[in-house]
A and B are shown apart, each in its own frame.
Chain A
Amino acid sequence: MTRRDFLTMLAAGTAGARLLRAQEGGMATRGVRPQPRGKPSGLPFHARFTDVAAQAGLRAPIIYGPVDRMDYILESMGCGVAFLDYDNDGWLDIFLLSGTRRAGPVEGASNRLYKNNRDGTFTDVTAKAGLTRQGWACGVTVGDYNNDGFEDLFITGWPQNILYRNNGDGTFSEVTENAGLLHPGNRWGTGCTWVDYDRDGHLDLFVANYLVFDFDKIPSTGKDPACNFKGVPVNCGPRGLVGERPMLYRNNGDGTFTDITARSGVAAVPPVYGLTAVAADLDGDGWQEIYVACDSTPSLLFHNRGDGIFTEQGLQSGLAVNEDGREQAGMGIAIGDCDNDGRLDVLKTHFAEDTAALFRNMGHLNFEDVTLRSGLGVETRHVSWGNGITDLDNDGLPDLFWVTGSTFPEVERKHPEFPHKSPRVLFRNLGGGKFEELLEAGPAIAEPHASRGVAFGDFDNDGDLDILIMNMNEPPSLLRNDVTGRGHWLKVKLVGTKSNISAIGAVVTAVYGGRKQVQAVLASSGYLSCNDRRLHFGLGAAMAADLEIAWPNGAREQVKGLPADQFVTVKEGAGVVARERFRA
């Protein structure tokens, strides 16, 4: 070998030292590795979940883009679901959003309304209700915006959002344009929530937008580094695409709305990739904040000053980014009191190779990221979506649940560790701020699906919380919860009189067996979805609970000594107006 040969050899083989790791893909993923799982607690978990969707009659697949690939980000984001009682019969009905396919309409694809037959089954009443519609629906918020006693539906999507007024006779009317909610041009509405931001008793409407989307203008799959995941060409975005600002509409009280995005301060934020939006009074001052999970941009927290103006306080509150100051791929938001300290905490889901983030409410709109110390660092495998902070086994301690599913079905062929369909995630609450992941809690937990939206509610009125899940291009899952322990419960429905009739924005603190737990009446939760409006408190061994209710208009009311294992209706200013014990 000559000196020249040696030189040639080295010239081919030498490389510069890497200073920065190459960015991969168009979404925020931290490349976080899971923490090791500790020794199982061995404590029994008394909830078991079985998917009963098929036997309940929920057999139609939810169409959303092609089955085996997702060429456009619009096809990958999926949509939400809702539990609601649209006919006021005391039994939860089901509303499922749907997408379509770019190639053309798909027979049978539509948003669907299922009426509860009160025997564990449902009947598809979509056509009868006037809700048949095929398109790219995304989010849903349920609330009685005209205070007529019947829940209305607002649906976001691309290219237009839709308002359905409940006529009270089993039918709905599409009133978007008359209500002043038809926006000019195309827009991709995502998160949406009813919120009485000015406490006038009328539900206003907040809408998050994801990004500027046009099938003909979005770069094609794999075109640049933002269209690539782990070396596999995938659909482009959100990074590299143009974000959007959210919007706020004020309810005029006459069935119409006025766009007040600019004058309310909501427009004073940079464009973001907004997804789920949730409204709740997070600082306990009686005025609802609005929190928006943003994908790969800092999430937004709009602090309600109480004078009609919101100021964005995401960074200051600790809810915008993770504890290292990095934005995450925010998908779903759950609000609940996971440490039983009487304050509303926040759980936000993210992309794969990142943890979900649990933010503990420290008061005064200050949140602390307690993800790792809570034990959530063990789970980073999957893209995570709809979620909840909710007591699934009635032990008095709210648990954590979320669904998962990839946005890139193409990737699993090269990287089996990123499967398109993945299991549900359940963390049971051990108390003391600690959670433990349970890989088995009935057959439905481990079943893999590519899921998105989730809603929690007691569809069979048996005193526990069941789970409704949107699965991409499959029928939905309906996880019936069969609780076997001795945990007691209390279910509370609030009816506003001076406040909005749905009582959206109310906060209820339950005190039971030496514990305290706060819950909020939400119009949106999880991923673009909506839960059962009735609040469900697991009470553990306690046989009774005291309630303190903060109504949306600021009034406070106490209800003492409510016996466990019943469903009560509390009317604003009138106390308990109805009690019901569910059949065993």
Chain B
Amino acid sequence: MIRFGLCLFMLLATGACLLQSQQPEIEAHLGKGTQLMQQELFEAAAGEFEQALALNPSDPRPHFQYAICLLSLGRNEEARRQFEQVRQLGGESRYLTYYFGRLDLLSNDYVSAIRRLGSVVEDPPSRDTAFHLGVAYVSSGDVSAGIKYLERAAKLLPRDYRVHYRLARAYSSAGREQEAAHEFNLYNQFRDEHKNTETEARACTSALHSQSIQNAHDVCHRMFDPNDPEKLTLLGQLFGDAGAFTEALDPLKRAVQLDPKSFEAWHNLGVTYFRLQRYTDARAPLETAVALRPEFYGSVVLLGATLYMVGDDDAALPVLEQAHRLNPADAQTTEILEKLRAGRQKQ
């Protein structure tokens, strides 16, 4: 959800009319808020977006991010009002249609949910669009249409146990017991996998904190599924959290191969190379991460640092300026930025 919200964020950014003097502060709140959302700290993130809106209520970006926060917090009617604001300020978009559709579904307005989600399902703003549309159809009583879209969702999200559960229940309601049994089996399989991953991650974390890296590696390697990018990313993250950066590389490299659109995988791969002081190798993953989430301060500042470390000061300067806009309170970035600017003036 956040990923697609940010796409709109980018789209709207070009059209936003900001008050020049307040722009750095607004950018800072947006950057901080986005980072908090990434950590699922939605209450705190909402506070940042509220502050951005107080500075410039006509900027659609904080309205949009704030709306997503509110939706995540279950404050659905407030979220709807914020999305309405975005529409008034920036016009219609398929992202807005998607979110309005989801809000309709949450408020049991199935007719409107079906209309809205159905209008964007062929060019979906999110991979779960078909899932929500299928749920809306089933909830409205049109089980056969629901099955059609839930089947599509199962193809788009083949490892998502929620989809298989809903599809199984829909088949069951339609009396298609054999297909229901098949989907229940898939549900059980992926639910078990999910739970196993949680258990394995706990065991890996515990081993990494209590044993040598070599011994812990054996425990953690149970998580290595060469076909599951999320699990590989998690494994890389756990190694990274424990400072085992060399061990983190393999799973993360495999993860970005499997899911080239995974911001988390690219960012973590970049962090890992950076922490191994392999700055040249860190550059490409961090550039990809920043391209996927240009407002995520952690990626931006690290890319700036990487460019600085490899001596590409020209490339580093605009990236660090962006990092500074996202987080003006970071004194070290400010200091190095001034140094780079001073160096450029001397030239």
Contacts and interface: CB of A to CB of B under 8 A. Distances in A.
Classify chain B: how many residues form its interface, as a range.
35 or more
A224 B275 CA distance: 29
Given A1-B332, A6-B336, A325-B191, A318 B169 contact: yes
Interface in B8-38: 38
B165 A14 contact: no
B334 to A, nearest CB: 10
A10 B198 contact: no
Given A16-B264, A17-B38, 9 more contacts: A7-B305, A16-B237, A19-B230, A33-B74, A35-B74, A224-B206, A225-B205, A315-B165, A324-B165
Interface string A1-37: 1010011011100111111110100000000111110
A437 B240 CA distance: 47
B82 interface: no
A316 B169 CA distance: 7
Q: By CB atoms of chain B within 10 A, which of A36, A325, A373 has the most?
A: A325
19 contacts: A1-B332, A6-B336, A9-B332, A11-B275, A14-B301, A16-B271, A17-B237, A17-B298, A19-B230, A19-B234, A19-B237, A19-B264, A33-B73, A36-B74, A36-B78, A315-B168, A316-B184, A325-B166, A366-B173
Contacts of B75: 36
B187 interface: yes
Nearest to B75: A36
Nearest to B248: A16
A399 B268 CA distance: 51
Contacts of B206: 224-225
Contact of B184 (A7, A225, A226, A315): A315
A457 interface: no
A377 interface: yes
Interface of A: 1, 3, 6-7, 9-11, 14-21, 23, 32-36, 224-226, 315-316, 318, 321, 323-325, 362, 366, 372-373, 377
Contact of B172 (A11, A33, A316): A316
**B contact patch SS:** helix
A315 B167 CA distance: 12
B309 A3 contact: yes
A293 to B, nearest CB: 19
Contacts of A23: 198, 202
Contacts of B267: 16-17
Given A3-B308, A34-B74, A325-B161, A10 B302 contact: yes
A86 to B, nearest CB: 44
**A contact patch SS:** loop
Interface string B201-222: 1100110000000000000000
B253 to A, nearest CB: 15
Contact of B38 (A18, A323, A362): A18
A457 B168 CA distance: 40
Contacts of B77: 36
Contacts of B74: 32-36, 377
A226 B203 CA distance: 11
Contact of B274 (A14, A20, A34, A366): A14
Contacts of B201: 20
A19 B194 CA distance: 13
Contacts of B237: 16-19
A16 B169 contact: no
A105 B206 CA distance: 38
Given A1-B335, A17-B268, A373-B108, A7 B309 contact: yes
A15 B268 CA distance: 8
A23 to B, nearest CB: 5
A316 B182 CA distance: 12
Contacts of B339: 1
Question: Which 6 pairs across A and B sit closest by C-beta, in order of nearness?
Answer: A325-B165, A33-B74, A16-B268, A17-B264, A17-B267, A19-B264
A10 B180 CA distance: 52
Nearest to B177: A316
Contacts of B92: none
B162 interface: yes
A362 B305 CA distance: 60
A297 to B, nearest CB: 10
B233 interface: yes
Contacts of A10: 274, 301-302, 305
Q: By CB atoms of chain A within 10 A, which of B162, B165, B206 has the most?
A: B165
Nearest to A226: B202
B76 A36 contact: yes
A235 to B, nearest CB: 18
B282 to A, nearest CB: 11
Interface string B151-181: 0000000000110111011001100000010
Contacts of A1: 332, 335-336, 339
Nearest to A318: B169
B106 interface: yes
B241 interface: yes
Contacts of A14: 271, 274-275, 298, 301-302
B142 interface: no
Contacts of B180: 316
B187 A16 contact: no
Interface in B292-327: 296, 298-299, 301-302, 305, 308-309
Contacts of B108: 372-373
B40 interface: yes
B330 to A, nearest CB: 9
Given A14-B275, A36-B77, A372-B106, A20 B234 contact: yes
A18 B75 CA distance: 24
A36 B70 CA distance: 11
A224 B234 contact: no
Contacts of B298: 14-15, 17
Interface in B118-171: 161-162, 164-166, 168-169
B263 interface: yes
A17 B173 contact: no
A9 B78 CA distance: 40
Nearest to A225: B202
A159 B74 CA distance: 43
Contacts of A21: 40
Interface in B214-270: 230, 233-234, 236-237, 240-241, 263-264, 267-268
A23 B198 CA distance: 7
